[in-house]
Amino acid sequence: MQIPLYCHSLNGRYDNNLKKRLNILVNLVFYGCLAVVGYLLLQVFLLVSFKVPTNSMVPEMMPGDFILVEKLSMGPRLFNVFKATRLEDIEIYRLPGLRGIRRNDVVVFNFPYEYGRLDSIRFHVMRYYTKRCIGLPGDTISIRNGLYQIAGVKGK
């Protein structure tokens, strides 16, 4: 897509060299802005990368590994990132997802308690955890000798 520009020199004639340079500059700025908007939309609504923060998923995921999280399944969360980075109270909205969490899905979530306080629910949206979902609502889970068992579900 070319954006037409008309440039005149001081004597009134078209300056083709200046016109070409301005067209290139305008196109670079236009496509650069388009790429930034596309990247932001991708990050907010479709995919985001996270760095695995702890060793709780070893050996499948090591601390420092990067993972891509697909947001369409659960629905993307919308919130004011600038307020979140300043640790202000924010409202979080979740768009409808395509499906719910299934057993053995790897999930990325915010720990629901403020650091150092377990008496209230509040979290830092920029601090996250990576875990595997082993139980679903209504499941009864027991742990014996370091192994878990879900009532009514055969182990592999």
Which residue in the list 49, 56, 71, 73 is annotated as catalytic? Answer: 56
Judge whether 111 lies within some domain: no
Judge whether 94 lies within some domain: no
Which residue in the list 131, 142, 154, 156 is annotated as catalytic? Answer: 131
pLDDT of residue 33: 97
- Output the six-digit token pair for 100: 């719910």
Distance CA 137, CA 14 (A): 72
Judge whether 101 lies within some domain: no
Task: Name the 3-class secondary structure at 42.
Answer: helix
Q: What total of structural domains would you count in the chain? A: 1
Distance CA 77, CA 128 (A): 14
Judge whether 35 lies within some domain: yes
pLDDT of residue 37: 96
Judge whether 6 lies within some domain: yes
Q: Is 56 a catalytic residue?
A: yes
pLDDT of residue 42: 92
Judge whether 32 lies within some domain: yes
| Identity of the amino acid at 123 | F
Distance CA 56, CA 67 (A): 15
Cα 151-149-131 angle, rounded to 5 deg: 115
Judge whether 63 lies within some domain: no
* Mean pLDDT by groups of 10 residues along the chain of 156 residues: 56 69 92 96 89 86 91 89 81 90 88 68 75 90 89 74
pLDDT of residue 127: 78
Q: Is 131 a catalytic residue?
A: yes
Q: Yes or no: say if 155 and 141 are a contact pair by the CB < 8 Å rule.
A: no
- Output the six-digit token pair for 78: 């919308």
pLDDT of residue 122: 67
Give the domain extent around 39: 1-43
Give the HSE-up count for residue 141: Cα atoms under 13 Å, Cβ half-sphere.
12
pLDDT of residue 65: 92
Judge whether 60 lies within some domain: no
